[in-house]
Structure 1
Amino acid sequence: MLCHDGYGSIKSEMKKSHMMYDRRGEEHHNTIAAMHESIRGSNDNAAIYWTARMLVSGEDPLFIARRLVRAASEEMGNSDPNSLQLAVSTMHGCQLLDRGDREVLLAQCALYLARAPTLKREYFRLEKVKQVIADCHGPQPSVPFHLRNIPEKLLAELGVDNKRSFMPEGMEHLKFY
Structure 2
Amino acid sequence: MSDLFAADPSETDKARPLADQLRPRTLDEVIGQEHLLGPNGTLRRMLASGRLGSLILWGPPGTGKTTVARLLADQIGYRFEQISAIFSGVADLKKVFEKARFERLSGHRTLLFVDEIHRFNRAQQDSFLPVMEDGTVVLVGATTENPSFELNAALLSRSQVLRFESLGRDDLEKLLERAETLLGAGLPLSDEARETLLGLADGDGRALLGLVEEILASAQENETLDANSLLTIVQRRAPIYDKAQDGHYNLISALHKTIRGSDPDAALYYFARMLDAGEDPLFLARRLIRMASEDIGLADPQALQLAIAGRDAYQMLGSPEGELSLAQVVVYLALAPKSNAVYTAYKAAVSVAKSTGSPMPPMVILNAPTKMMKGQGYGEGYIYDHDTPEAFSGQEYFPEKIGRQDFYHPVERGFERDLRKRMDYFARLRAAKRATESED
Cα distance in 2 for partners of 1:26, 1:117 equals: 30
Gaps of 5+ in 2: 1-241, 384-394, 409-440
Whether 1:131 and 2:362 are equivalent positions in the alignment is no
The structure 1 residue matched to 2:358, chosen from 140, 145, 170, is 140
Aligned equivalent of 2:407? 176
Greater share of helix: 1
Quote the offset at 1:147 in angstroms: 2.6
Give 1:102's aligned amino acid.
Answer: G
Quote the offset at 1:66 in angstroms: 0.3
Aligned equivalent of 2:259? 39
* Paired residues for 1:25-104 under 5 Å: 25-104=245-324
Aligned length: 152
Quote the offset at 1:102 in angstroms: 1.6
Residue deviations 1:24-55, cap 9 Å, x none?
71111111111110111011111111111111
Quote the offset at 1:171 in angstroms: 2.5
CA contact (8 A) 1:51 1:106 kept: no
Cα distance in 2 for partners of 1:45, 1:94 equals: 21
Cα distance in 2 for partners of 1:50, 1:176 equals: 34
Quote the offset at 1:148 in angstroms: 2.7
Please state whether the residue corresponding to 1:113 is helix, strand or coil: helix
Cα distance in 1 for partners of 2:368, 2:299 equals: 35
Share of identical aligned residues, percent?
40
Aligned equivalent of 1:13? none
Please state whether the residue corresponding to 1:100 is helix, strand or coil: coil
CA contact (8 A) 1:73 1:84 kept: yes
Give 1:47's aligned amino acid.
Answer: A
Please state whether the residue corresponding to 1:70 is helix, strand or coil: helix
Quote the offset at 1:79 in angstroms: 0.2
Quote the offset at 1:140 in angstroms: 1.4
Aligned equivalent of 2:43? none
Please state whether the residue corresponding to 2:332 is helix, strand or coil: helix
Give 1:169's aligned amino acid.
Answer: E
Quote the offset at 1:165 in angstroms: 1.2
Give 2:382's aligned amino acid.
Answer: N
Tell me the TM-score normalized by structure 2: 0.32
Cα distance in 2 for partners of 1:63, 1:149 equals: 42
Cα distance in 2 for partners of 1:150, 1:69 equals: 39
Alpha-carbon RMSD across the aligned residues, in angstroms, is 2.4
Give 1:26's aligned amino acid.
Answer: D
Cα distance in 1 for partners of 2:405, 2:279 equals: 43
Quote the offset at 1:145 in angstroms: 2.4
Whether 1:167 and 2:385 are equivalent positions in the alignment is no
